[in-house]
Amino acid sequence: MKNNKSYFRKNIDEMDGYTPGEQPRDMKYVKLNTNENPYPPSPAVMKALKSLDAGRLRLYPDPLACELRKTIADIFGLKSESIIVGNGSDDILTITTRAFAGEKDSIACFEPSYSLYPVLAELQGCRCIKIPLGYDGDFYIPSDSAKKANGAKLFYIARPNAPTGTLFPIGEIRKICRNFKGIVFVDEAYADFADDNCVGLLEEFPNLIVGRTMSKSYSLAGLRLGFALASGKIIEGMMKVKDSYNVGMPVQVLATAALKDRKYFNETREKICRTRRYLVKSLLEKGFEVCGSQSNFVFAAPPDKDGEGVYRRLKKNGVLVRYFKGPVTGRYVRITVGTDKEIRILLRNI
Amino acid sequence: MKNNKSYFRKNIDEMDGYTPGEQPRDMKYVKLNTNENPYPPSPAVMKALKSLDAGRLRLYPDPLACELRKTIADIFGLKSESIIVGNGSDDILTITTRAFAGEKDSIACFEPSYSLYPVLAELQGCRCIKIPLGYDGDFYIPSDSAKKANGAKLFYIARPNAPTGTLFPIGEIRKICRNFKGIVFVDEAYADFADDNCVGLLEEFPNLIVGRTMSKSYSLAGLRLGFALASGKIIEGMMKVKDSYNVGMPVQVLATAALKDRKYFNETREKICRTRRYLVKSLLEKGFEVCGSQSNFVFAAPPDKDGEGVYRRLKKNGVLVRYFKGPVTGRYVRITVGTDKEIRILLRNI
């Protein structure tokens, strides 16, 4: 047995792995770098947590997560058969990739967009077709996107887009669903902070999957719950790919509690949208260029277009934001919408 | 868009998916079918649950699960770099499959063994080499197993084996590690109920991974926590394949609490082993053939070799056990070791 022998697949050996945002273990930073919600989860989650029966942990969770899926279905006016839940939306994205794209296939995505999509392709050993977004001071979908993506089995589109915050016109998504021959996965991780979403398109397009997460708008990043909405046929196939017990019992119970508290959800969402407007206005006043954000973060470029400089200056002063290298993205920083107080600290130090 | 078009990969369309044991939603059954622990988790888990700060759920969990991995490492006398944690051992098995076996590759496993292994191969789109165990009233590893498996990238071995309970001699595992050219994954889901385990072989063999779960011996099936032990180099590669935040914050906290309570763990394990001895003795007295179990379940064949008949009779009388079709396995039922009281009910109705 030679020591330098690798047992790994070639694609795994050659890849770097995904780099998540910094998660500093001490809390000295004002943390505006990973799009977490600045408010705690619903009090209903606290209550459900306190009344959880630890004795029940000895039993496997419901593999079909019936109550949780029914709760989600009710919110969206769909049937449970149209819902799959996962261990965070990472799990949903992994299930989707494995269900639709094999080693000889390709996956399409825009650039810049969520940097996990190309990593998912690498992990699966398939090719990634990166379609550059148009840029005219803001980012837009080029008109020939479906054509460029064709040949791919799967098209990942984040809407609102990350890290830019852009809400691509819904007509553009419709056009892609119509003209692209594979599965269109619209990743709506941030859609709860936006004016509209693509759930209404599900009836129209059998090749559409809409992905959601409870990490942002429900303040449950630590819990891990993501889900997808699609036709019953698509969900049925995806269920074969998921791990049998991919969502633990406490997660099912706490997520259900959070989803049922519509009042708290709406209030929190509105507070964040209000702070976002304040942040955008203040940045514009300071001469920043700001992308039209419809999410819980803002993508903003300082007058000198030195995104990295802003990132470093803020970090030195105890404020974490995120910076993305690149000829265009490098001009910007991505700032999570925190509390008003956190945003005031950011603005003082930017 | 034709309605009958499938967007799925061929291997996904053609597979049935894994069938987990029945999880009846009402509790009228004496449930001895999915190898759950009959005792609740450690009181330390209850305590940790009650003092969990729900507010912290808004933040992403530690992607490296440092404290949990350190706790596991300490128990096994290893370094944290030798540990990866997952969302149940299903997640660990999925990560392993994706890391080492591509579409042109094959995976080896014994038969009968854990029925998930061939499903993992199907999901990955690779071939499965099934090596029949020898049978002489009990199940044993044929001497040419490594040779039969060679060509495969990965060899899944459950030890103790499921559903038979057999603890293959450690010398056989050593021989396979030495002679098989790919990764040997020894799935020790039930090893806490056995006389020995393969953790000591890790130093010797760079191609060995040992898998564990907290679902059985720690009574945490509902929580979802599995882990694997291997060389730092193997773990480093597997970390690239896992979802970034694959273990939620509550899971990290509660699993750590359970692992630290060694006293409760040892007491529970001993109670189960004691009940297992009582169950085996009673079944032998009733004329059953019983495989030499070193796990928290017993594989037993009635005098008339009609496993299915026993399964049906028990189910009618409110006791769930598991039955596996097949010319040899079909003679048996698999009975989870419950409490003494549950086993008395089983014995009255068998």
Q: How far is CA A197 from CA A167, A210, A294, A300, B343, in A?
A: 9, 9, 11, 23, 54
Q: What is the mean pLDDT of residues A266-295?
A: 97
d(Cα B286, Cα B333) in Å, to the nearest integer?
A: 14
Question: β-strands B297-301, A139-140: how paired?
Answer: unpaired
Question: What DSSP designation does B32 have?
Answer: -
Task: Give the domain B43-261 fold.
Answer: Aspartate Aminotransferase; domain 2 (3.40.640)
Length of chain B: 350
B188 touches chain A (CB under 8 A): no
Unique residue bearing structure tokens 């029949």: B132
Token pair for A268: 């929190």
SS3 of A225, please? Answer: coil
Between A205, A206, A237, which is nearest B8 by CB?
A237
Q: Residue A107's beta-bridge partner residues?
A: A128, A154
Name chain B contacts of A219, Cβ cutoff 8 Å. 57-58
Selected for mutation to probe chain B from A36, A58, A95 (highest B CB count within 10 Å) is: A58
B250–A34 CB contact, under 8 Å: no
d(Cα B311, Cα B334) in Å, to the nearest integer?
A: 9
Name chain B contacts of A58, Cβ cutoff 8 Å. 36-41, 219-222
Kindly report the number of other CB atoms within 10 A of residue A304's CB atom: 10
A224–B61 CB contact, under 8 Å: yes
Q: How far is CA A146 from CA A111, A112, A129, in A?
A: 14, 17, 11
Name chain B contacts of A8, Cβ cutoff 8 Å. 99-100, 237
pLDDT in tens, B87-105: 999 999 999 999 999 999 9
Taking a C-beta distance cutoff of 8 angstroms, is the pair A54, B221 a contact? no
Taking 80 as the threshold, does the pLDDT of residue A27 lie above it? no
Taking a C-beta distance cutoff of 8 angstroms, is the pair A108, A118 a contact? no
B16 touches chain A (CB under 8 A): yes
d(Cα A8, Cα B177) in Å, to the nearest integer?
A: 17
Between B16, B17, B37, which is nearest A58 by CB?
B37
Q: What is the mean pLDDT of residues B170-181?
A: 97
A230 touches chain B (CB under 8 A): no
Q: Residue B289's beta-bridge partner residues?
A: B301
Share of chain B above pLDDT 90, in %: 94
Q: What's the start-to-end Cα distance of chain B, in Å?
A: 55
Taking a C-beta distance cutoff of 8 angstroms, is the pair B6, B13 a contact? yes
Share of chain A above pLDDT 90, in %: 94
Q: How far is CA B272 from CA B43, B212, B269, in A?
A: 18, 18, 5
d(Cα B41, Cα A56) in Å, to the nearest integer?
A: 9
Query: Which pLDDT score is estimated for B55?
Result: 93
Q: Chain B residue with minimal CA distance to A219?
A: B58
Query: Which pLDDT score is estimated for A1?
Result: 43
d(Cα B150, Cα A2) in Å, to the nearest integer?
A: 17
Query: Which pLDDT score is estimated for A20?
Result: 75
d(Cα B230, Cα B72) in Å, to the nearest integer?
A: 12
ipTM over 0.90: yes
- φ and ψ at residue B16, rounded to 5 degrees: -95, -25
DSSP string computed for B252-286: HHHHHHHHH-HHHHHHHHHHHHHHHHHHHHHHHHT
- φ and ψ at residue B205, rounded to 5 degrees: -125, 115
In chain A, where the domains are located: 10-36+263-349, 43-261
pTM for the model stands at: 0.96
Name chain B contacts of A230, Cβ cutoff 8 Å. none
Half-sphere exposure (Cβ direction) of B218: Cα atoms closer than 13 Å: 28
How far A309 CA lies from chain B's nearest CA (Å)? Answer: 26
B221–A60 CB contact, under 8 Å: yes
B67 touches chain A (CB under 8 A): no
A55–B41 CB contact, under 8 Å: yes
How far A136 CA lies from chain B's nearest CA (Å)? Answer: 33
Kindly report the number of other CB atoms within 10 A of residue B303's CB atom: 9
Among residues B88, B24, B54, the alpha carbon closest in space to that of B218 is found at B88
B49 touches chain A (CB under 8 A): yes
Name chain A contacts of B247, Cβ cutoff 8 Å. 224
Task: Give the domain A10-36+263-349 fold.
Answer: Aspartate Aminotransferase, domain 1 (3.90.1150)
A241–B12 CB contact, under 8 Å: yes
Between B41, B221, B243, which is nearest A91 by CB?
B243
Name chain B contacts of A246, Cβ cutoff 8 Å. 87-88, 90-91, 224
Residue B1 banded pLDDT, cuts 50, 70, 90? very low
Residue B193 banded pLDDT, cuts 50, 70, 90? very high
Q: What's the start-to-end Cα distance of chain A, in Å?
A: 56
Taking 90 as the threshold, does the pLDDT of residue B109 lie above it? yes
Secondary structure, 3-state, B295-336: CCEEEEECCCCCHHHHHHHHHHCCEECECCCCCCHHHCEEEE
Selected for mutation to probe chain B from A95, A215, A243, A252 (highest B CB count within 10 Å) is: A243
A90–B246 CB contact, under 8 Å: yes
SS3 of A171, please? Answer: helix
Taking 60 as the threshold, does the pLDDT of residue B123 lie above it? yes
Selected for mutation to probe chain B from A49, A60, A115, A203 (highest B CB count within 10 Å) is: A60
Q: What is the mean pLDDT of residues A71-97?
A: 98
B residues 164-183 closer than 8 Å to A (CB) = 182-183
Q: Chain B residue with minimal CA distance to A184?
A: B7
Taking a C-beta distance cutoff of 8 angstroms, is the pair A310, A335 a contact? no
pLDDT in tens, B275-320: 999 999 999 999 999 998 999 999 999 999 999 999 999 999 999 9
Residue B3 banded pLDDT, cuts 50, 70, 90? low
B residues 82-141 closer than 8 Å to A (CB) = 87-88, 90-91, 94, 98-105, 123, 125
If residue A93 lies in a helix (H) or strand (E), which one and from where to where? helix A88-100
Between A31, A59, A224, which is nearest B248 by CB?
A224
How far B166 CA lies from chain A's nearest CA (Å)? Answer: 23
Q: What is the mean pLDDT of residues A201-222?
A: 98
d(Cα A154, Cα A183) in Å, to the nearest integer?
A: 5
Query: Which pLDDT score is estimated for B17?
Result: 80
pLDDT in tens, A40-80: 999 999 999 999 999 999 999 999 999 999 999 999 999 99
Lowest mean pLDDT of A302-316, A319-333, B13-27, name the range.
B13-27
Query: Which pLDDT score is estimated for A2?
Result: 45
Unique residue bearing structure tokens 């078009």: B5
Query: Which pLDDT score is estimated for B2?
Result: 45
> For residue A126, with 0-12 CB atoms within 10 Å meaning exposed, 13-18 middle and 19 or more buried, which class applies?
buried
Among residues A81, A131, A136, A88, the alpha carbon closest in space to that of A109 is found at A131
A42 touches chain B (CB under 8 A): no
